[in-house]
Structure 1
């Protein structure tokens, strides 16, 4: 080539921006399948189901490890609007004040809830939602493929436990019902497994659904003999909050999460009894009776007043006048 000739561009072309844009996006394996109820059939293959469960388990364990310091917040993110009723309505007629206490102001951003950590928390919540969705797909696939074996049991065990921790009752209820009433007759659970999952059904009926009679029927049907479960049923029937809190402390974490659904009713019952029968009580006694710290009860709407370690429920009558605003 002569020095005067124009320089030709190299024939070896680099990757163009358009080519880069055409590169396939890496697909999330948990989101690559649809719901079998919507026509997805690829998950009907047994081997594919087993691989899919392994992927779900890996993601779930990794997510728990990343959030091990605050798993309660992670699980609560799956159900951001739980059906929690305030004590304000129930206790308004027992309040010393005309209006329920105002809720505390939200704390300013700190190191614990900085924008970076809030973003990470949102990402974890999205990841948990993906895991729950994948579990639903797998459960539907197991049902669609009429699978009744040890693997199917594993799927339902895992789905039920995760649903309990996340208070995902919409997923928990059909999963537990299928395990006990459809899968168990075809692929019998061991005695310990049946006792565990039947106890979930019993406690769910009694504590979440408020159906103690149905819980008793389930207990007889599956032959569950568990003193802690029986103590909880008795406490709900008799309104014995001391027995309820003691029994709740004795059950395992999954059972405790279900029993927690009855806490509000037990707490309101205890506070109403106190309100009708006492002028003042020890703060510690109220906290033991309700299973809640006094500051939490105030935030929930209890309008009584604390004075020197005592909770003033009602003011005594002074000289024959009404006892509302008097001191002492």
Structure 2
């Protein structure tokens, strides 16, 4: 009688197909795949294709998907995009859609590999391709709010890739200069460098932007009304850079309202102070800012007037 061994399912012997973005390594760690121009272009096309799929997968709430990276390492200039945390069975990953933080991290890391490859072959690479990669990378990293992935590229793009012999389109240069000025002002809170860069950009690139001028003025004067007006009017890239200053402008607004009003309508406080009456509620604002104000129907009581005791009658004073 022959002994029988349990049959292992055939599929279990197969290794999962490696992600084409992860198969490529860093040039700085010895991988030579991206030292070839054709390989660079093919890799870039795969990144763009994956990003378009990312946008399609999360089209119902793309802003939230872009903001899904943990913020703890956002201002660390040496950090890679953080890895995604394990997800539950109820997340989109269980349905074949990777969590947005995982996919964003992979895209940003892949773009860093590609930039390394382009930098290593800068003597032979086409400048136009390098400019296109950096412009795409900067804008994606801005939406993801990951400065280590966009800030060095902004300076490299404007100072090295854009030149008289190989100039970028005027509109793209204006975009990059605007992002850099606003990053100095909103994220780094360095108004001196922001104004210096604006002056230099006016000389070197004939840069003019009413949007940037209004944001700088609003930040200098703590003018939260103008700041939120501009915030609502700009595109998603400019708004993402401005978001670095959103917390402090919201607190300036609450401080100003608290010192000037005894009470106000809840919608005016939520919408006016946060610049966003869609994603903010009174309950969220109360918890986030630890306010001591009280809600009374549709009214927020900021402070109650002191009730003075009635004056003492004159005839009782003489007694």
| TM-score bracket for this pair, using the shorter chain length | 0.7 to 0.9
Task: Give 1:129's match in structure 2, choosing from 102, 105, 125.
Answer: 105
| Residue aligning to 1:198 | 177
TM-score (norm 1): 0.76
Q: How far apart are the structure 1 equivalents of 2:268 and 2:89?
A: 38
Task: Give 2:139's match in structure 1, choosing from 161, 166, 187.
Answer: 161
CA deviation map 1:2-21 (0-9, x unaligned):
xxxxxxxxxxxxxx979987
Q: Is structure 2 residue 153 aligned with structure 1 residue 175?
A: yes
Gaps of 5+ in 2: 1-6, 76-87, 310-319
Q: How far apart are the structure 1 equivalents of 2:10 and 2:295?
A: 71
TM-score (norm 2): 0.78
Q: Is structure 2 residue 274 aligned with structure 1 residue 290?
A: yes
| Residue aligning to 1:34 | 25
Deviation of 1:130 (Å): 1.8
Deviation of 1:203 (Å): 0.8
Matches within 5 A, 1:74-223: 74-79=65-70, 81=72, 115=90, 117=92, 119-120=94-95, 123-146=99-122, 147=125, 149-185=127-163, 187-223=166-202
Q: How far apart are the structure 2 equivalents of 1:221 and 1:119?
A: 51
Q: Is structure 2 residue 254 aligned with structure 1 residue 257?
A: no
The structure, 1 or 2, with the larger RCO (C-alpha pairs under 8 Å, 6+ apart) is: 1
Task: Give 1:55's match in structure 2, choosing from 31, 36, 46.
Answer: 46
Q: How far apart are the structure 2 equivalents of 1:282 and 1:124?
A: 37
Kept in 1: contact 2:74–2:146 (CA 8 A):
no
Gaps of 5+ in 1: 1-15, 85-112, 321-328
Structure whose CA Rg is larger? 1
Q: How far apart are the structure 1 equivalents of 2:284 and 2:72?
A: 19
Number of positions where the alignment pairs a residue of Structure 1 with one of Structure 2: 278
Cα-Cα RMSD: 2.8
| Residue aligning to 1:71 | 62
Deviation of 1:143 (Å): 1.0
Deviation of 1:24 (Å): 6.5
